[in-house]
Amino acid sequence: MTTKQYAVIGLGRFGTSVARRLYEAGQEVLGIDIDEERVEDASLYLTHAVIADSTEEKALTSVGIRNFDCVIVAIGDDMQASILTTMLLKELGVNKIIAKALDKLHGQVLDKIGVDLIIFPERDMGERVANQLLSPNVLNYIELSKDYNIEEIMIPSNMAEKSLRELDIRANYHLSVIAIVTEDNITVSPPPDQIIRHGDLLVVIGKREDLSDFSNLE
């Protein structure tokens, strides 16, 4: 994996979680927060840590913010600080900006500013919990569009010990299997004669309604 430079502005639970994951993946991570205690708490998961007010241009230029591959604005509950910080990042020519939105209005403003990716943590987590309750066999998913998902689905017991050719999931369920996950291996683009065992997971792509029907098979 190529090492990149990330800056995370706002070191609350969300920001620290993002920083930690990037740091553990071997990336260079700068953490910025106006609160000294938060910076100290998150410093274990940062390559560099700075106590600064991100709404001040001088503070951002002093850390060379425009040189980072990506900046994540994870400011907690201060919408004004989030918007001002994001505007400054755009003015300074930051290559890629990802920002946390507190609500729909906040997200609309960030979109107008030109943020590359807007995250709604509470909404997304709520949807994930609801989907898990509605489709307990779905362990993970990626939303591709309004109509299509990629989902990791625990196979129904009656499909075990059969090949993909026998199951013919594309014809019977209108879904495409893009990988099979076993205890110790991942097979991408599995061949038709691949046997599915008990405990295997299917990574499938298709329309949401078809995925829902498939994941609720007994």
- Choose the most confident range, by mean pLDDT, from 11-15, 127-131, 140-144: 11-15
Report pLDDT digits (tens) over 18-38: 999 899 989 999 999 999 999
The answer to which of 134-138, 186-190, 208-212 has the lowest mean pLDDT is: 134-138
Query: Which domains are delineated in the chain?
Result: 5-121 (3.40.50.720), 129-215 (3.30.70.1450)
d(CA 191, CA 205) in angstroms, rounded, equals 16
- pLDDT tier for residue 120 given thresholds of 50, 70 and 90: confident
pLDDT confidence of residue 165: 94
Q: What is the DSSP letter of 206?
A: E
Percentage with pLDDT > 90 across the chain: 59
Bridge-partner residues for 137, per DSSP? none
Mean pLDDT of 150-160: 86
**The residue type at 113:** I
d(CA 176, CA 118) in angstroms, rounded, equals 29
**The residue type at 63:** V
Q: What is the DSSP letter of 54?
A: T
Mean pLDDT of 78-96: 95
Identify the CA nearest to 113 among candidates 135, 91, 81, 139: 91
d(CA 18, CA 65) in angstroms, rounded, equals 18
pLDDT confidence of residue 132: 54
pLDDT confidence of residue 185: 86
pLDDT confidence of residue 59: 95
Mean pLDDT of 162-167: 93
- pLDDT tier for residue 148 given thresholds of 50, 70 and 90: confident
Averaged confidence pLDDT in the chain: 88
d(CA 147, CA 208) in angstroms, rounded, equals 6
Strand segments (E) across 18-143:
28-33, 48-51, 70-73, 97-100, 117-119, 138-143
pLDDT confidence of residue 136: 57
- pTM value is 0.65
